[in-house]
Amino acid sequence: MRVMIQLREDAALELHKQSSQRSASSPSKSEIARLLEATAELGVSLAPVHPGQTHQLLVPYFMVETPDRETAEKVINRLQRFGIVEAAYLQPDAQPP
């Protein structure tokens, strides 16, 4: 199951950068670190939906793969507590046109 996550744009841009390039003065750096710790505790990792993009409409989207619905719901509930997470939801099943 895939959980889709939309982050605040500034946080998403920071996540797209390599950790060595992150600015120490970034306002969302500590919250990003807490978000990454939370995903690690849940046994999942954030992956950009559009890796390498810098366009403001594509940058905020990330995903997490989970083995089942129960885990997906735990991830969603945990991530929605973060101020930098604008949305977290279970991706609907694909439907034929």
Q: Tens digit of pLDDT per residue, the chain (97 long)?
A: 999 999 999 899 888 874 335 444 454 568 999 999 999 999 999 999 998 888 889 999 999 999 999 999 999 999 999 999 999 999 988 888 8
Q: Are 65 and 4 in contact (CB under 8 A)?
A: no
Phi, psi of 14 (to 5 degrees): -65, -40
Domain boundaries, the chain: 2-19+27-90
- The DSSP annotation for 13-66 comes to HHHHS-GGG--TT-TTHHHHHHHHHHHHHTT---EESSTT---TTTTTEEEEE-
Q: Is CATH 3.40.50 the right assignment for the domain spanning 2-19+27-90?
A: no
